Amino acid sequence: MALVLSENALTVLEKRYLVKEEGKVVETPEDMFRRVARNIAQAEKNYPAGDPDKWEEIFYQLMTSLDFMPNSPTLMNAGRELQQLAACFVLPVEDSMEDIFDSIKYAALIHKSGGGTGFSFSRLRPQNDLVMSTGGVVSGPVSFMKVFNAATEAVKQGGTRRGANMGMLRVDHPDILSFITAKEDNSELTNFNISVALTEEFMDAVKANREYALINPRTGLPASSLQAREVFDKLVDAAWRNGEPGIIFLDRVNKDNPTPQLGDIESTNPCGEQPLLPYEACNLGSINISRFVTGNTVDYKRLEQVVHQAVRFLDNVIDMSSYPLGKIQEMVRGNRKIGLGLMGFADALYMLSIPYNSFQAVEKGRELMEFIQRTSREASRQLAEERGAYPNFQGSRQQQLGMQPMRNATTTTIAPTGTISIIAGTSSGIEPNFALCYSRNVLDNQRLVEVHPLFEEVAKAQGFYSEELIDQVAKVGSVQGIASVPEDIRKIFVTAHDIDPEWHIQIQAAFQQYTDNAVSKTVNLRHDATREEVAKVFTLAYELGCKGVTVYRDGSRDSQVLSVGGEKTTPVAGGIVPRPRPEVTVGRTEKVKIGCGNLYIIVNSDEHGICEVFTNTGREGGCASQSEATSRLVSIALRSGISVDTLVEQLRGIRCPACIRRPGVNVTSCPDAIAKALKKSVANPAPISLQQFAKEGPKISAAAASGGHCPDCGSPIRHEGGCTICLNCGYSHCG
């Protein structure tokens, strides 16, 4: 059967997956799938019953049929020099300077190989705690997270994937309040997703409205206490503001830890669906469930066959992958965890005429995942008979429960499928579709309206299709409230923002019931959603047995809070609040001689004008803290609508003895230098426009993806499963 790919799939493959030589694509999609199939089938040589030629053909058909896709690193790297096939890893962060920087080094090696990393910072002693060896005090977990973040920014992953991290902190850590607000500013920790690890004790304390103890990890003793309800409310407020932190129910995760004899699970991969022990890696793949719908039923017989093939494929990946560290290889091959999940659930519901926001959909999700889990476990048991159980089976939870030996400690995970779902031409993971029609970039900056093929098919078959309708739907993404669309069609073709939050959680919980690891799911909320709705999502996720949850309120990372040139305003009690720092700025850097050496002044602008100032002192030193304080206050004032002339008037002429006494210095102080740099920037704007910069300049950092547009192509992005995904070019910031 010939491989049939959409135009969008071809774009994504050419940009991110196919082999290039000197920047030119030299591989077809068929070549890529053949490369991967041949490489993964080589693992069959390790086992007496293996048949590489037979399984190469089976694996090739498995992928080219679009029935199954492995995670992105396998598609990118199998059969190539890198041969790093795992998507993500968890590293320990121990409470010593040597161990902390070892973790940073290991993370850099992982990011270089194309993987993402998860960390728990819960072992680090809190801010201002004592350092016994020096008599000093420590800066705490959040400050070290910034060091990890900077290291990640410096490492470009294999030319195709930017580093992504998960940072976790236990809710009973003394620094929990500063962690909850660590990403209040969208420009901070741009390479991290963050989650708070909630304990059963904390959730009980929230319910009882009582205090709970904060534990110093250095001593293991209570350090203080907080009102649980107040901490929960702060967590809800932060998530309402910009979607972070997410939450994970840590005790629930460890209850299902398959190898408790090896230690506790402390963190997950960057998107939260794969709890892992230190030095473990995740090896994921997804079945395109929309390919198994025939008429009004699911073809479970064919699905059973594909599950068995996919489990074997993923087990082979473990053998074929080259791991960045020896410790990782030892842990991965000791537990042999795999995570088989599905994508295309929303499209399958369309095909089955089942509304996503219905108990019928909840039951269908539960039915599908129960089948996949049961079948994947049977496939793993058969592999154990053929190849042997995973080495750490002795003492495992499976052995304690009297289960038959399995080849893999876990078999199921629901991952965000991002770009692989674009390749497969289906909806992502178990998420609802984000829109039925949307615009994407094509050549010469023109925009093409993409229509969901299932909706287009139904609209034409029932006679209500028109170009006017498509234009109308493209503006809002949804058909709700459009009278020309029949009511029964509107009921079935719902999108993310048409669905009340409770249904998102009901669906997630149904899949979690039959998933070994966890479920990656973002509850997409309308912009006008309240904090109470976020609190309800968190509470319902706990009550229904989820292992964690992430919310994203539409527009919460790119909305402005101050009126500038007629934009919307948000009244704030207590005074003016500056608009957020823009995602993209352009500007100039000026080197100025001062009394202490040199001062480097960076003045940046966005479409509204000058919006920020940064300063940096040279190697000779200077009043770095004073200059930084001045530049921060100037930046806040600029984004609060205060004119540049007013700021220049206040700063110019301030005198510093070091500047006045040193020959050849043409400024009277650092503030005076900043004033002159601002004045020059007004008189001589940056030579390149913001639009040119976005089109021609260097790649925008991952911070740009925290807003509403893709940093690579400028198209709208969607937030799902802890990821930001671009439908146009396949950009994904999730690891």
User: For the whole model, what pTM was predicted?
Assistant: 0.81
**pLDDT for position 153:** 85
Sign of CA pseudo-dihedral 583, 521, 556, 447 = positive
Q: Is the per-residue pLDDT at 285 higher than 80?
A: yes
Cα–Cα distance, 30 to 15 (Å, whole number): 16
Beta strands 24-25 and 68-70 are: unpaired
pLDDT band for position 136 (50/70/90)?
A: confident
Alpha helices in 28-140 (DSSP H): 29-41, 52-64, 72-77, 97-112
- Check 271, 596, 723, 726 and give the catalytic one: 271
Tokens of 24: 């030119």
Chain mean pLDDT for the chain:
89
Rg (C-alpha) for the chain, rounded Å, is 27
Q: Helix (H) and strand (E) counts for the chain?
A: 26, 28
pLDDT tens-digit readout, 444-484: 555 678 899 999 999 999 999 999 999 999 988 999 999 99
**Strand boundaries in 508-579, DSSP class E:** 522-525, 548-553
The CA–CA distances, whole Å, from 479 to 491, 552, 599 equal 9, 22, 56
Tokens of 551: 């919310």
Residues 6+ apart with CB under 8 A from 270: 88, 116, 117, 118, 164, 165, 166, 193, 722, 734, 735
Direct distance between the N- and C-terminal alpha carbons of the chain, in angstroms, rounded to an integer: 32
Angle between helices 359-387 and 501-512 (to 10 degrees): 30
Judge whether 271 counts as a catalytic residue.
yes
Over pLDDT 70: what percentage of the chain?
89
- Check 71, 77, 149, 269 and give the catalytic one: 269
**pLDDT for position 29:** 98
**pLDDT for position 702:** 40
Cα–Cα distance, 391 to 688 (Å, whole number): 59
Cα–Cα distance, 192 to 165 (Å, whole number): 5
Residues forming a β-bridge with 285: 70, 340
**Other beta carbons within 10 Å of 483:** 7
What is the residue-wise DSSP string for 46-75? Answer: GSTT--HHHHHHHHHHHHHTTSEEE-HHHH
**pLDDT for position 442:** 56
Beta strands 246-249 and 586-594 are: unpaired
C-beta of residue 510 within 8 angstroms of C-beta of residue 503? no
The b/e string for 663-683 (b: 16+ C-beta within 10 A; e otherwise) is eebebbbbbbbbbbbbbebee
Residues forming a β-bridge with 696: none
Tokens of 329: 């290889």
Cα–Cα distance, 344 to 357 (Å, whole number): 16
Name the more confident of 279 and 567: 279
For 4, counting Cβ atoms within 10 Å of its Cβ (0-12 exposed, 13-18 middle, 19+ buried), the class is exposed
**Strand boundaries in 233-273, DSSP class E:** 246-249, 267-268
CA dihedral of 8, 13, 14, 15, whole degrees rounded to 10:
90
Q: Is the per-residue pLDDT at 703 higher than 70?
A: no
Tokens of 212: 């709970």
**pLDDT for position 85:** 97
**Other beta carbons within 10 Å of 264:** 13
pLDDT tens-digit readout, 288-332: 999 999 989 999 999 999 999 999 999 999 999 999 999 999 999
pLDDT band for position 631 (50/70/90)?
A: confident
DSSP letter at 308 equals H
Backbone angles phi, psi at 605, to 5 degrees: -130, 155
**pLDDT for position 712:** 66
Element (H, E) at 658: helix 657-661
Tokens of 523: 């509850």
Cα–Cα distance, 131 to 124 (Å, whole number): 12
508 φψ region: left (φ > 0), alpha (ψ -120 to 50), beta (else): alpha
Q: Is the per-residue pLDDT at 158 higher than 50?
A: no
Alpha helices in 498-572 (DSSP H): 501-512, 531-543
C-beta of residue 617 within 8 angstroms of C-beta of residue 599? yes
Residues forming a β-bridge with 170: 197
Residues 6+ apart with CB under 8 A from 629: none
| Half-sphere exposure (Cβ direction) of 300: Cα atoms closer than 13 Å | 11
**pLDDT for position 539:** 98
pLDDT tens-digit readout, 80-96: 999 999 989 999 999 99
pLDDT band for position 399 (50/70/90)?
A: very high
Q: Is the per-residue pLDDT at 715 higher than 50?
A: yes
pLDDT band for position 625 (50/70/90)?
A: confident
C-beta of residue 161 within 8 angstroms of C-beta of residue 113? no
Backbone angles phi, psi at 614, to 5 degrees: -120, 150
Question: Which residue is it, tokens 């030589």?
Answer: 21
pLDDT band for position 157 (50/70/90)?
A: very low
Residues forming a β-bridge with 166: 118, 193
What is the residue-wise DSSP string for 607-645? Answer: TTEEEEEEEEE-TT---HHHHHHHHHHHHHHHHTT--HH
Q: Which of 463, 411, 467, 150 is nearest to 287 (CA)?
A: 411
- Check 56, 273, 431, 583 and give the catalytic one: 273
Instruction: Go through the domains of the chain in sequence order and give each one's CATH number.
Output: 31-84+283-422 (3.20.70.20), 88-268 (3.20.70.20), 427-559+705-726 (no CATH), 586-692 (3.90.1010)
pLDDT tens-digit readout, 516-568: 999 999 999 999 999 999 999 999 999 999 999 999 998 887 632 222 233 33
Residues 6+ apart with CB under 8 A from 584: 606, 690, 693, 694, 700, 704
pLDDT tens-digit readout, 494-524: 999 999 999 999 999 999 999 999 999 999 9
Residues forming a β-bridge with 21: 24
DSSP letter at 100 equals H
Element (H, E) at 309: helix 300-320
Per the document, the length of the chain is 735
CA angle 499, 504, 508 (to 5 degrees): 160
pLDDT band for position 575 (50/70/90)?
A: low
Q: Is the per-residue pLDDT at 697 higher than 70?
A: no
Element (H, E) at 594: strand 586-594
Judge whether 723 counts as a catalytic residue.
no
Q: Is the per-residue pLDDT at 344 higher than 90?
A: yes
Judge whether 273 counts as a catalytic residue.
yes
pLDDT band for position 598 (50/70/90)?
A: confident
Per mean pLDDT, which range of 89-93, 341-345, 416-420 is the poorest? Answer: 416-420
DSSP letter at 130 equals B
SS3 call for 170: strand
Q: Is the per-residue pLDDT at 272 higher than 70?
A: yes
